[in-house]
Amino acid sequence: MALQSLDIKRRSATTIQPPTARGAVQEVAKLIDTTKCIGCKACQVACMEWNDLRDEIGLNVGVYDNPADLTPQSWTVMRFAEYENPKGDLEWLIRKDGCMHCEDPGCLKACPSPGAIIQYNNGIVDFHEENCIGCGYCITGCPFDVPRMNEKDHKVYKCTLCSDRVAVGQEPACVKTCPTGAIVFGTKDDMKRHAEGRIADLKSRGFENAGLYDPQGVGGTHVMYVLHHADKPELYSKLPSNPEISPMVSLWKGVAKPIGVAVMALGVLAGFFHYIRKGPVETTDEDERKAEEEAHHE
């Protein structure tokens, strides 16, 4: 979703520094408190409404997850996990899944098309589909398995953190609609402070491992979770415990690029200077004469 009024921190496939003068922008974050979520899916509906998305009506696959996965038309889904804790009690762990808006976004690092993925100064990572070429490298780069390729237009879609709403001082649609206040939005600092209060409350009520999910392997995220079991994020439908950009992607889209190009250029230069210094190997008249001689000798 193009929104040029926001300031840009990083731009895909761009090696020069974006404009940095207007840097006094506060970083934002969405805080999702899984301990307050009731799984009503109002956030999914609000996302569809605001972003004009209408997914195909699917089939019930026997669990509450509906739709079953993120799609180009469903940028957020609630994932329901049933966890039997050591006491033998059942805990229903519900997590609103979607783009985490990484501070160090793997999608942006992998994208080959200049300006198809943008990170604004406020931390939101946005796809500009008009520049998307449909290669799917962002899907390859994402540590959270979030972007989805649309088969109809071969472009990739994901949560925008309602960058259009945020730009005009409104909170994302999912935040606006959440009936229990499980989703809140503000500056990242404020959200961390808010989370501290929630975690202290949870600890006082027996959830001693309650904590904030703001994984540092991707430089922190602009979508954070309060978890009852922050020591075991995998319980929440395989939320990765230490996500990071895959070393293969870092190598491919990191040092391999300048080194590869430099070596190829040096290869061409080596040939050029070899020719300049050693010269060509020529077939002389003498060689032709000897060949002729040998041919007639037979």
Q: Which residues bind other proteins (CB under 8 A)?
A: 13-15, 112-114, 131, 133-137, 139-140, 145, 149, 154, 246, 248-249, 251-252, 256-258, 260-261, 263-264, 267-268, 271, 274-275, 278-285, 287-292, 294-295, 298
Q: State the nearest-atom distance from the C-beta of 225 to other proteins, in Å.
A: 22
CA–chain centroid gap for 233, Å, is: 18
Decide whether 197 or 271 has the Cβ nearer to other proteins.
271
Cis peptide before 67 (omega within 30 of 0): yes
Q: State the nearest-atom distance from the C-beta of 2 to other proteins, in Å.
A: 16
Q: State the nearest-atom distance from the C-beta of 293 to other proteins, in Å.
A: 9
| Residue pair 34/179 in contact by the 8 Å Cβ criterion | no
| Residue pair 103/214 in contact by the 8 Å Cβ criterion | no
| Residue pair 126/160 in contact by the 8 Å Cβ criterion | yes
Cα separation, 100 vs 218, whole angstroms:
10
Q: State the nearest-atom distance from the C-beta of 143 to other proteins, in Å.
A: 9
Query: What three-state secondary structure class fits 68?
Result: coil
Decide whether 157 or 185 has the Cβ nearer to other proteins.
157
Decide whether 106 or 211 has the Cβ nearer to other proteins.
106
Beta strands in 87-198 (DSSP E): 90-97, 117-120, 125-127, 148-150, 155-157, 183-187
Other residues' Cβ atoms within 10 Å of the Cβ of residue 73: 16
Q: State the nearest-atom distance from the C-beta of 58 to other proteins, in Å.
A: 17
Q: Which of 161, 160, 156 is nearest to 112 (CA)?
A: 156
Decide whether 168 or 295 has the Cβ nearer to other proteins.
295
CA–chain centroid gap for 229, Å, is: 24
Decide whether 145 or 208 has the Cβ nearer to other proteins.
145
Q: State the nearest-atom distance from the C-beta of 116 to other proteins, in Å.
A: 8
Q: State the nearest-atom distance from the C-beta of 267 to other proteins, in Å.
A: 4
Q: Which helix (H) or strand (E) holds 214?
A: none
Decide whether 66 or 246 has the Cβ nearer to other proteins.
246
Q: Which two tokens stand for residue 279?
A: 């010269």
Decide whether 15 or 17 has the Cβ nearer to other proteins.
15
Q: Which two tokens stand for residue 266?
A: 């040096």
| Residue pair 224/213 in contact by the 8 Å Cβ criterion | yes
Decide whether 92 or 275 has the Cβ nearer to other proteins.
275
Q: Which residues contact 228 (CB under 8 A, 6 or more apart)?
A: 34, 35, 91, 93, 202, 207, 209, 210
Q: State the nearest-atom distance from the C-beta of 172 to other proteins, in Å.
A: 27
